[in-house]
Structure 1
C-alpha cells in the first residue's frame, strides 16, 4: 500500500497535465505571496537598512572568512537544527514538521512530474518517502498544536481557539492529513470517499499556499536572514543596539521559573 504512487492512480480520472498545472500554480502562489508579503511588510527594506546601519556602526571589522563561518553557523545551528528554540520538545516538533514538509513537497513534485502514470512506475522508495514526510508533518504539527503551543500550554486556552496567526499551521496539517487519507482511501478502493478527501486536500492546499501574505509561511525565508543578521551584529560589536548579556545576572525576588513553552 505504501509503495503505491497515489498520483499515478489518480491519473486514471485526472489527466497528469492538470495535476502538474496545479503544482505549478501552487509554486507560483508561494513566489507571488512571498513577494506581496515582502512589499506589504517592507521586510526586505528593513533587513537592508538594518544591515547598512550595522555595517556603518561596526566596532570590529568582519572579514570574508569570518563571514563565511557566520553563514555556515547560521545554516547549521539556526536553520538545520532550529537552535533558536531552547525547549527541546518545541525544537523536535519544529524539526519534524520542517523536514517532513521538505520531504513531502519534494517527493510530491517528483511523483507528479516524473512518474505521473502507471506506465512510468516510480521506485518504491519514493511513495514510502512521501508517506513518511506526511506522517512527520502530522506528528510534529499535531504535537505542537495540542501540547506545545504557547496559548495552550502556558495560557490555558483551548487548542481549538483559532486566530489569524494559526492559518499556516492549521492549513499545513489539514492539507497533509487530507492528502494521507485520500491516498489511503484511493488505494483501498473506496472511490467515493477518496474523491471527498481529494477535494478537501485540494482546498486545504490552496488555502495553505494562497494565504501566504496573511500567514506565517514566508517566515521560513525571513528567519534565516534575521538569524544571519543577528550573528553579524554580534560579530561586529553593534549587537543591534542591545546590551551585552551579563556574566552573572542578579537573582532578585522569588526563585526564577523557567519557561516551558519556548
Structure 2
C-alpha cells in the first residue's frame, strides 16, 4: 500500500492525460486566484508606495541579498515568526507535509512507472499535514486555546485549513480503500476530488495565498528596518504586566 502509486490504478478508467490536465488546471486556479487577490486588495501597490514614501536610506544589493537569505532561512524555512513552540511545530509539520504531498502527487500523476519512494513520501506528507493541521485546529487555535470557543465553531477564515484537511483526509482514506479493493473507494475518490477542487479554487476567499504573501511580508519587514521605514513607528517595549503576563499561555475565559 505504501509503495504503490494510488493514481496508477485510475488509468483503468481514465487516461493519465485527464489527471494531468486536472493538476495543471489547479495550478492555474491558484495563480489566477492569487493575482486576483493582489489586485482586489491592492496590497502590493500599498506596500510599494508606502516603502517609496517612507524609506530614509538606500539599501545596496549585498544587503538585499543578506535580507533575502535571512528571510528565507529564518522566517520561511524555520517559521521564525511564531514564538509559541507548539504553534511553530504544527505549522512546520503542515508546511513541509504540504510540500511533500503536492510534489509527490504531481510526480505520481505525471510519471509512470513511479519509484516506490514517491508513494511513501505522499503518505508521509499527508500524515504530517493531518498531524499538524488537526493539532492546530483542536488545540492551538487562538479562539479555542485562548478564548474557550468550541473547536467545531467554523468561520469563513477557516476555509483554507478545513478544505486542506478534508482533501488530505479523504485522499488517504481513498488510497487505503483502493489498496484493499473496497467498493467504497470510488465514492471517497469523488469526495477527494471535490475537496481538492474547493481547496485550489477558493484562493480569493481563503488563506491559501498566505503562503506567497507571508514570505513577502517577512522580507518587507526586515527591509523596513534596514532602510529606515520602521523608524517611523515606536519600537516594541517590555511594558509591565497588563491582563496577565505575555510569557504565560493566554486563558481569557
Using structure 2 for the length normalisation, give the TM-score. 0.94
CA distance in 1 between partners of 2:224 and 2:103 (Å): 34
Summarize deviations over 1:181-235 as a string: whole Å, max 9, x none.
0011001110x21011101101100110111000000111111111111111111
SS in structure 2 at match of 1:142:
helix
> 1:180 aligns to what?
172
| Distance in 2 (alpha carbons) for counterparts of 1:185 and 1:195 | 9
Report what 2:75 is aligned to. 78
Structure 1 215/252 Cα, relative in aligned 2: closer, same or farther at 3 Å?
A: closer
Counterpart in the other structure of 1:127: 119
Q: Work out whether 1:258 is the aligned partner of 2:250.
A: no
Counterpart mapping for 1:68-107 below 5 A: 68-107=65-104
1:234 aligns with 2:225: yes
1:217 aligned partner: 208
Cα separation, 2, equivalents of 1:99 and 1:164: 25
Give the CA deviation at 1:152. Answer: 0.7
SS in 2 for 1:6: coil
Are 1:230 and 1:240, in contact at CA under 8 Å, matched by a contact in 2? no
Note the 1:59-208 alignment, pairs <5 A: 60-115=57-112, 121-190=113-182, 192-208=183-199
Cα–Cα, structure 1 residues 81 and 152, in superposed 2: closer, same or farther, change >3 Å?
A: same
Shift of 1:256: 2.1
Question: What's the CA shift string for 1:132-162, capped at 9, x where partnerless?
Answer: 0111111110000000011111111111111
Aligned-residue Cα RMSD (Å) equals 1.6
Give the number of equivalent residue pairs: 250
2:51–2:229 CA contact under 8 A, matched in 1: no
The alpha-carbon distance between structure 1 residues 254 and 167, as it changes in their structure 2 partners (threshold 3 A), is: closer
Instruction: Quote the Cα distance in structure 2 between the aligned partners of 1:253 and 1:148.
Output: 22
Q: Which runs of 5+ in 2 are unaligned?
A: none
Runs of 4+ deviating beyond 6 Å = none
Instruction: Measure, in 1, the Cα distance between the counterparts of 2:138 and 2:58.
Output: 46
Q: 1:109 to 1:251 in 2, by over 3 A?
A: same
